[in-house]
């Protein structure tokens, strides 16, 4: 028994070492690439989306499931032939779930990374889903192509961090969303970015993080965006006139390589039983401490003054 225990401890330490090295390698590679990166921000973001697969990366299935558990209660009253818009869909991780959930609906999804869209189309083919249309175009272009009040659901998850211009698109998002429709957005937490800065000792970025809500954090050539839960609440309720349903912190006790939360736990490095316990813990805590998550998921309804019928 002692021998087996020692082997288990050694195996755990080996996995933790591999995890830490993966995070170090990821940060080092990103820094090295940025020194040779083109100045064009569009190209830099596209390269990032090409390198990281939001569907097949080791930890992403766990976080997609966590998102989905928060989202799905809000879908129960949505029309079975729902029209859904997925802005910045990457490789289609939520487009695919929406297509499965609404087999009689229509999902329209965009990403300006052609490689991400090609991967999304392959994923849809593999899942034999024919009710999704993927387009390689910008969020602005996609919104302009949609009729007013045409969408039952508009999604934009884990996009605002890399797309500081998202605020300018809010009027268009509200225009295409039907009365009674569901808005699903996630925002990078200021607190999470503060942990990243503190760990990296990037103290010269601290004033930017505290006083601003967009900028070149982490000495990056890219401009990022970050928010607090209080600011998101005010934006959606006061500025947008929406009914806020939920604010939820995704991944309050765990993370992917490069995250401060990775030092607590990576979902892909633990057995299924432990993942179930982790999910239960994070689902119980995420609603109470949304700022502790890597992203803050927000669900809101566009107000509907009419009565009767499904949304």
Residue 257 three-state SS: coil
2 plus 93 within the same structural domain: no
Tokens encoding 182: 């569901």
Has residue 6 been placed in a domain? yes
Look at 29 and 60; give whichever has higher pLDDT.
60
12 plus 74 within the same structural domain: no
23 plus 162 within the same structural domain: no
CA angle 134, 136, 137 (to 5 degrees): 115
Strands 177-188 and 295-302: antiparallel
Has residue 133 been placed in a domain? yes
61 plus 30 within the same structural domain: no
Tokens encoding 242: 């929406």
Has residue 63 been placed in a domain? yes
113 plus 260 within the same structural domain: yes
Rounded-to-integer distance, Cα 89 and Cα 112, Å: 9
Has residue 84 been placed in a domain? yes
Look at 222 and 47; give whichever has higher pLDDT.
222
143 plus 101 within the same structural domain: yes
**pLDDT surpasses 60 at 125:** yes
Q: Residue 139's pLDDT is what?
A: 97
190 Cβ contact partners less than 8 Å away, ≥ 6 residues apart = 209, 213, 226, 227, 228, 291
Cα 86 to its chain centre, rounded Å, is 12
Query: What phi, psi does 154 have (nearest 5°)?
Result: -120, 125
Band (14; pLDDT cuts 50, 70, 90): low
49 plus 28 within the same structural domain: no
Q: Residue 304's pLDDT is what?
A: 82
**pLDDT surpasses 70 at 197:** yes
Rounded-to-integer distance, Cα 97 and Cα 107, Å: 10
Has residue 310 been placed in a domain? no
Has residue 309 been placed in a domain? no
Q: Among 40-44, 168-172, 294-298, whose mean pLDDT is lowest?
A: 40-44
When pLDDT is averaged across residues 117-127 and rounded to a whole number, the result is: 97
Has residue 180 been placed in a domain? yes
Rounded-to-integer distance, Cα 173 and Cα 163, Å: 15
154 plus 248 within the same structural domain: yes
**pLDDT surpasses 80 at 307:** no
The per-residue pLDDT of the chain, averaged, comes to 87
Q: Residue 52's pLDDT is what?
A: 81
The percent of residues above 70 in pLDDT, for the chain, comes to 81
Band (305; pLDDT cuts 50, 70, 90): low
The domain of 147 spans: 39-302
Has residue 307 been placed in a domain? no
Rounded-to-integer distance, Cα 183 and Cα 49, Å: 23
Spell out where 121-275 has E strands. 132-135, 151-156, 177-188, 214-215, 224-225, 242-250
Q: Residue 51's pLDDT is what?
A: 65
111 plus 224 within the same structural domain: yes
82 Cβ contact partners less than 8 Å away, ≥ 6 residues apart = 98, 102, 105, 106, 152, 153
131 plus 203 within the same structural domain: yes
Q: By CB neighbour count within 10 A (0-12 exposed, 13-18 middle, 19+ buried), where does 281 fall? A: middle
Rounded-to-integer distance, Cα 253 and Cα 138, Å: 33
- The CATH number of the domain holding residue 105 is 3.40.50.150
150 plus 298 within the same structural domain: yes
Report the number of distinct structural domains present in the chain.
2
9 plus 113 within the same structural domain: no
**pLDDT surpasses 90 at 27:** no
């Amino acid at each position: 028994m002692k021998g087996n225990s020692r082997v288990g401890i050694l195996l755990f330490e080996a996995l933790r070492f591999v995890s830490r090295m993966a995070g170090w390698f990821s940060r080092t590679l990103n820094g090295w690439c940025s020194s040779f990166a083109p100045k064009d921000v569009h190209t830099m973001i596209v390269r990032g989306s090409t390198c990281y697969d939001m569907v097949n990366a080791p930890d992403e299935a766990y976080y997609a499931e966590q998102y989905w558990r928060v989202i799905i209660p809000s879908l129960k009253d949505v029309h079975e032939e729902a029209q859904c818009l997925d802005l910045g869909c990457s490789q289609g991780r939520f487009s695919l779930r929406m297509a499965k959930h609404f087999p009689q609906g229509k999902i329209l999804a965009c990403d300006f990374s052609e490689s991400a869209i090609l991967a999304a189309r392959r994923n849809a083919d593999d899942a034999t889903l024919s009710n999704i249309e993927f387009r390689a175009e910008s969020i602005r272009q996609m919104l302009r192509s949609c009729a007013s009040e045409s969408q039952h659901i508009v999604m934009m998850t884990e996009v605002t961090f890399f797309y500081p211009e998202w605020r300018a698109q809010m009027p268009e998002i509200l225009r295409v969303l039907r009365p009674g429709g569901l808005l699903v957005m996630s925002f990078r937490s200021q607190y999470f970015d503060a942990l990243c800065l503190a760990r990296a000792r990037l103290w010269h970025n601290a004033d930017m993080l505290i006083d601003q809500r967009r900028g070149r954090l982490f000495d990056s050539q890219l401009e990022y965006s970050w928010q607090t839960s209080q600011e998101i609440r005010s934006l959606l309720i006061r500025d947008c006139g929406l009914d806020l349903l939920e604010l939820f912190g995704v991944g309050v006790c765990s993370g992917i390589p490069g995250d401060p939360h990775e030092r607590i736990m990576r979902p892909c490095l633990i057995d299924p039983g432990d993942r179930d316990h982790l999910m239960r813990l994070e689902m119980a805590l995420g609603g109470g401490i949304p700022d502790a998550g890597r992203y803050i998921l927000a669900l809101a309804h566009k107000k509907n003054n009419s009565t009767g019928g499904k949304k």
